[in-house]
A and B are shown apart, each in its own frame.
Chain A
Amino acid sequence: SQQGEEDPQALSIQEGENATMNCSYKTSINNLQWYRQNSGRGLVHLILIRSNEREKHSGRLRVTLDTSKKSSSLLITASRAADTASYFCATGISYKLSFGAGTTVTVRA
């Protein structure tokens, strides 16, 4: 079953702008992960945030988690053409993850 739901479904931005996407989920979680998928490729793990964390950074990525609202956001700052991809949030316990349908981000040059 699909636990996470990303919003928006698609996003188009100019190179250099920031991109923000959101994920909402339904049940309690231990952690939440974000993955990226380039066209025709597999998913690549970006970042994991635990349920007791509110914010986490990795390079140009910033993830927030609000467990009271059951939501998370992924911010990509100073976007580049190489950030064009689909982004998925994933929730789950231990080894069994549930993925949302993803947000497709297009960065225009």
Chain B
Amino acid sequence: DVKVTQSSRYLVKRTGEKVFLECVQDMDHENMFWYRQDPGLGLRLIYFSYDVKMKEKGDIPEGYSVSREKKERFSLILESASTNQTSMYLCASSGLNQPQHFGDGTRLSIL
């Protein structure tokens, strides 16, 4: 079975901090994704990566950056956390033209 592991289930940070969310997949998938999920809004794509060191902006990239130095790892970075970035963050991976596999999410609170 595909396993997508997010480093933290719950995280509390302060406004202005630099926050790193880590995601690792074990299926050698080319594609990796970061979404945020908010009530009533569904999932919104922040960034995705289709290869090592390659990235593309999703629908809501402002305030975020990403890093993919190795194929199995995709990091989401909040450069200077703000309260409106309090949310559930979901990482996913997929092979070419295959369904996406999700991690269990990180519930991030910015105080």
Whether B105 contacts A41 by the Cβ 8 Å rule is yes
Which of B14-22, B36-44, B68-76, B77-85 lies at the interface?
A: B36-44
Cα A26 to Cα B100 with chains together (Å):
22
Q: Which partner residue on chain B sits nearest A41 by CB separation?
A: B104
Whether B45 contacts A96 by the Cβ 8 Å rule is yes
Expressed in whole angstroms, the minimum distance between the Cβ of A85 and any Cβ of chain B is 13
Q: List 21 A-B contacts (CB under 8 A).
A: A1-B59, A2-B42, A33-B99, A41-B104, A41-B105, A42-B4, A42-B92, A42-B103, A43-B43, A43-B92, A44-B102, A45-B101, A95-B31, A95-B50, A95-B94, A96-B58, A97-B45, A97-B100, A101-B40, A101-B41, A101-B42
A81-105 CB contact bits vs B (8 Å, 1 = yes)?
Answer: 0000000100000111111111000
Q: Which residues of B contact A (CB under 8 A)?
A: 4, 31, 33, 35, 40-45, 48, 50, 58-59, 90, 92, 94, 96-97, 99-105
Cα A94 to Cα B50 with chains together (Å):
11
Q: Sort A-B residue pairs by CB-CB distance and give the 7 closest, nearest first.
A: A42-B102, A45-B99, A101-B42, A99-B43, A43-B102, A95-B31, A99-B42
If over half of B's interface residues share one DSSP class (helix, strand or loop), that class is named, otherwise mixed; here it is: strand
- A41-80 contacts to B, CB under 8 A, are 41-45, 48
Expressed in whole angstroms, the minimum distance between the Cβ of A109 and any Cβ of chain B is 26
Q: Which partner residue on chain B sits nearest A88 by CB separation?
A: B42
Cα A42 to Cα B4 with chains together (Å):
10
Expressed in whole angstroms, the minimum distance between the Cβ of B75 and any Cβ of chain A is 17
Cβ 8 A contact of B97, one of A2, A43, A94: A94
Whether B104 contacts A100 by the Cβ 8 Å rule is no
Whether A102 contacts B42 by the Cβ 8 Å rule is yes
